[in-house]
């Protein structure tokens, strides 16, 4: 569903399966953020196409972090459609060092694709728009959040949710780092829609401010 000009949100709702929310930013560079599990890709593909978008036009897959429920389908977009997979350099190093154990733990094959582009904190040019990337460690060492000020949209992965925060008890998690990352995100201006990696969006400037105030009580 479209939640802002050029921004499409695909929340995942199933009691029986785990998958993340996915987000598509439309434009000359179409970026899909967090494609989710491979076996659930057909459903996401169908939802994207129902919005009149073509998955073959997706040029970049941005992984907020390397957990399998967020990134596993990335290789389908790389192999079938030629999209480039991207994540932060810190996260790619973490994926190679410890992150692969998550795939084994969940009984999944190790990712066969490649991270064709590593991202740093700062501006990301998507052709007709510039997204601001923020490193937000704590849930994982190299988690990325994406802020598009003009659309007033903040994409948070598993750093912060509606009335909750990311887990820090997995490998690479760090409670103090997560607190600092959330402080950093809470200071951003021009945020009226928070699209988290799981659960509902937070919509409205007042609601976003209230949500940050609420989740700070976790620390």
Site residues for Zn ion per CB under 5 A: 67, 158
Q: Cβ closer to Zn ion: 113 or 166?
A: 166
Q: How far is the CB of 52 from Zn ion (least distance, A)?
A: 30
Q: Are strands 130-135 and 160-161 parallel, antiparallel or unpaired?
A: unpaired
- Say which residues have a Cβ less than 8 Å from residue 15's Cβ, sequence separation at least 6: none
Residue (of 79, 81, 73) closest to 103 by Cα position: 73
CA distances from 114 to 76, 97, 192 (A): 11, 15, 34
Each residue of 184-205: b (16+ CB within 10 Å) or e? ebbeeeebbbbbbbbeebbeee
- Say which residues have a Cβ less than 8 Å from residue 84's Cβ, sequence separation at least 6: 59, 60, 61, 78, 116, 117
In this structure, are residues 52 and 77 in contact, taking their beta carbons and an 8 Å threshold?
A: no
Q: Cβ closer to Zn ion: 92 or 158?
A: 158
In this structure, are residues 180 and 138 in contact, taking their beta carbons and an 8 Å threshold?
A: yes
- Say which residues have a Cβ less than 8 Å from residue 103's Cβ, sequence separation at least 6: 68, 72, 109, 110, 111
Q: How far is the CB of 125 from Zn ion (least distance, A)?
A: 27
Q: How far is the CB of 135 from Zn ion (least distance, A)?
A: 15
Q: Cβ closer to Zn ion: 41 or 129?
A: 41
Q: Cβ closer to Zn ion: 26 or 69?
A: 69
Q: How far is the CB of 92 from Zn ion (least distance, A)?
A: 15
Q: How far is the CB of 106 from Zn ion (least distance, A)?
A: 12
Q: Cβ closer to Zn ion: 75 or 158?
A: 158
Virtual torsion, Cα 32, 66, 146, 9, nearest 10 deg = 40
Q: Cβ closer to Zn ion: 26 or 158?
A: 158
Q: Cβ closer to Zn ion: 126 or 194?
A: 194
In this structure, are residues 172 and 140 in contact, taking their beta carbons and an 8 Å threshold?
A: yes
Q: How far is the CB of 64 from Zn ion (least distance, A)?
A: 8
Q: How far is the CB of 80 from Zn ion (least distance, A)?
A: 24
């Amino acid at each position: 569903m479209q939640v802002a000009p050029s921004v499409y949100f695909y929340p995942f709702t199933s009691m029986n399966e785990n998958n993340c929310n996915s987000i598509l930013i439309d434009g000359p560079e179409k970026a899909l953020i967090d494609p989710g599990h491979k076996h659930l890709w057909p459903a996401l593909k169908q939802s994207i196409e129902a919005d009149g978008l073509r998955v073959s036009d997706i040029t970049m897959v941005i992984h907020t972090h390397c957990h399998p429920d967020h990134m596993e389908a990335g290789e389908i977009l790389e192999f079938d459609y030629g999209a480039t997979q991207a994540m932060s350099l810190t996260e790619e190093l973490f994926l190679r060092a410890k992150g692969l154990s998550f795939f084994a733990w969940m009984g999944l094959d190790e990712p066969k694709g490649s991270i064709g582009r590593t991202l740093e904190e700062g501006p990301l040019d998507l052709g007709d728009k510039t997204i601001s990337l923020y490193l937000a460690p704590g849930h994982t060492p190299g988690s990325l959040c994406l802020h598009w000020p003009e659309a007033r949209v903040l994409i948070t992965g598993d750093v912060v949710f509606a009335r909750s925060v990311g887990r820090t008890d997995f490998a690479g998690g760090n409670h103090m780092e997560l607190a600092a990352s959330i402080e950093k995100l809470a200071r951003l201006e021009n945020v009226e829609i928070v699209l988290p990696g799981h659960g509902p969006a937070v919509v409205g400037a007042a609601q976003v401010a209230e949500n940050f105030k609420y989740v700070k009580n976790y620390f």
